[in-house]
Amino acid sequence: MRRLKVGVMISGRGSNLAALIAACADGSVPAEIALVISNRADAAGLDYAARAGIPRALIAQNDRRAFAAEAEAVLGRHGVELIALAGFMRVLDTGFVEAWRDRMVNIHPSLLPAFRGLHAQRQALAAGVRFTGCTVHFVRPELDAGPILAQAVVPVHPDDDEERLSARILAAEHRLYPLALRLIAEGRVRVIGERVEIAGWQAPDLVAFNPCEPLVSSAD
């Protein structure tokens, strides 16, 4: 099967990059990570790319248009067909975002459109929601907006702090992003009128309650 060539853009830890690399390597996703771009030389995620033998590009340009021009050049050289943002912490040039319309995805640690921007997990705790999660969406110029491709739901526990909740969401991210990439690589995904249609996939048939009934009553 033909493998979709993906460019991943990171700024830091790179755990989602690692999940995507693993999913492409074990054959569950018909894609290959053809390039990793970082805007920071000290991004720990660059090590995952190095260990997997994936070409890396450091683009430290602060100017948005200059960054976009360098990125276009290197993406073109490596034949990248889809960009996956994975903890990429810079705002991209609008022209670049438009040029990659419906060919660039992002993962965000909330159920969008709730809790856009930084510290989505902290925002969820402050709002007191019982469920949050993560979202893979196509990128639009507006921050953390764009057609939603896939979401995973994560419960908020009564004793959660930001660290515990973030870890629970991150574990879901590492499953959701490879799934989303697989759907795209298999050619099942179409954006129609700012909504995403997925061919041949079902939604789960479940209702989750939080709080849910305790097995043993705490009043006893």
**CB of residue 217 to ligand GRF, shortest distance in Å:** 36
Please check whether residue 133 is in contact with residue 208, taking contact to mean a CB–CB distance below 8 angstroms. Answer: no
**CB of residue 146 to ligand GRF, shortest distance in Å:** 13
- Supply angle C-alpha 9, 25, 8, rounded to 5: 5
Tell me the H-state helices in the chain.
15-25, 46-51, 64-77, 94-99, 120-127, 162-185
69: Cα separation from own chain's centroid: 23
Nearer to ligand GRF, 52 or 69 (CB): 52
Catalytic residues: 108
Q: Which of these, 150, 87, 160, lies nearest to 129 by C-alpha position?
A: 160
Sites of contact with ligand GRF (CB under 6 A): 10, 12-16, 45, 86-87, 107-109, 134, 170, 173
How long a stretch of residues is the chain?
A: 220
**CB of residue 209 to ligand GRF, shortest distance in Å:** 26
**CB of residue 39 to ligand GRF, shortest distance in Å:** 12
Calculate the CA dihedral of residues 147, 48, 43, 68 and round it to 10 degrees: -50
Nearer to ligand GRF, 142 or 197 (CB): 142
Q: Is the peptide bond before 113 cis (omega within 30 degrees of 0)?
A: yes
Q: Which residue is nearest to ligand GRF (CB)?
A: 87
Around Cβ 38, how many Cβ atoms within 10 Å?
25
Nearer to ligand GRF, 71 or 120 (CB): 120
Nearer to ligand GRF, 15 or 39 (CB): 15
